[in-house]
Amino acid sequence: MTRIAVLGSTNMDLVAYVTTAPRSGETVTGHEFRTAPGGKGANQAVAAARAGADVAMIGAVGTDDFGDQLRTALEHAGVDIDLLRTTEGPSGTAHIVVDGDGGNAIVVIPGANGSLTSLCHADRALIAEAQSLLLQLELPMSAVLAGAETARRNGVRTILTPAPAPAQPLPCELLAVTDLLVPNEHEAATLTGVSGDPERAARALLADVPEVVITLGARGCLYASRAQPEPVAVLAPPVTAVDTTGAGDTFVGTLAVALGEGRPMTDALTWASAAAALSVQRPGAATSMPYRAEIDA
């Protein structure tokens, strides 16, 4: 079984459904409220576990009730949480307003995630034994960098999701130890300054990393590598989307499993696209992620 380590965030998603999102100074009455375990790290961990990998998560939850719920959700998904810390204070939370058109606006409060600034010996040992390390940008950069450097030293493939879109350029040290970068279209534009032309953005990103996949929502994804710089498109299966939250995390978690199993990149991208297309047809992030048999089918 493929072993995947995830170094990333766990957040409780607090979701308010409204017809029209409030502007500053305005109060609106919404029609529904839901809580759901989330965080880009935890979501990718659940996606990879459901897709059939042996997954361990390095992260932190708080001492509040959300911390217990986040821990339990990962455990139920079959994710190894031995290295998930509990730190004094609140867990990470994501405050999400979903409007009537399905658009959303999100405030993330890092909480316990912000306490994970460095790695311990056990974290490094776990990363060293994995086939891939999944990283995002919802933990302090010092930890993300330490994880990626540990992976590189041990020949472990690093897969970085540059989300949320960084306000500053990514540190060169991080890009230097990234094997595969998987931005969505918006993140790719932020990183390169090239918008509306994902082919050009993909080629530009190859200056920083050896392989890149830009996800394009319902239009699928683009893959480019230094060995094959002309981007290759993989179409998304045509489906009716009801909730695209977590589509990118489903895609990355599943892609990591396929690559870990030694599948060629185009097969892996097709499999990940099938998984993400299944997830957008159901509500929620982690709850909508498909199991291996469904993806194969």
For ligand ADP, the binding residues (CB under 6 A) are 184, 215-218, 220-221, 236, 239, 241, 244, 247-248, 251, 273, 276-277, 280
How many angstroms separate the CA atoms of 243 and 245, rounded?
Answer: 6
Q: Residue with the closest Cβ to ligand ADP?
A: 248
For the chain, helix, strand, coil in percent to 5 are 40, 25, 35
Asked if 186 contacts 165 with a C-beta cutoff of 8 angstroms, the reply is yes
> Judged by CB, which is closer to ligand ADP: 42, or 221?
221
> Judged by CB, which is closer to ligand ADP: 102, or 125?
102
Q: How far is the CB of 65 from ligand ADP (least distance, A)?
A: 28
The alpha carbon of 62 is separated from its chain's Cα centroid by a whole number of angstroms, namely 21
Q: How far is the CB of 57 from ligand ADP (least distance, A)?
A: 19
User: Residue 168, class by beta-carbon neighbours within 10 Å (0-12 exposed, 13-18 middle, 19+ buried)?
Assistant: exposed
Joined tokens for residue 127: 């990363």
How many angstroms separate the CA atoms of 131 and 141, rounded?
Answer: 22
- Name, in order, each residue with C-beta under 8 angstroms of 283's C-beta and a sequence gap of 6 or more: 242, 243
Active-site pick, 179, 243, 249, 267:
249
> Judged by CB, which is closer to ligand ADP: 166, or 217?
217
Q: How far is the CB of 99 from ligand ADP (least distance, A)?
A: 16
**DSSP code of residue 184:** B
Q: Is 179 a catalytic residue?
A: no
> Judged by CB, which is closer to ligand ADP: 83, or 252?
252
CB atoms within 10 A of CB 58: 28
Q: How far is the CB of 271 from ligand ADP (least distance, A)?
A: 11
Which are the catalytic amino acids? 249
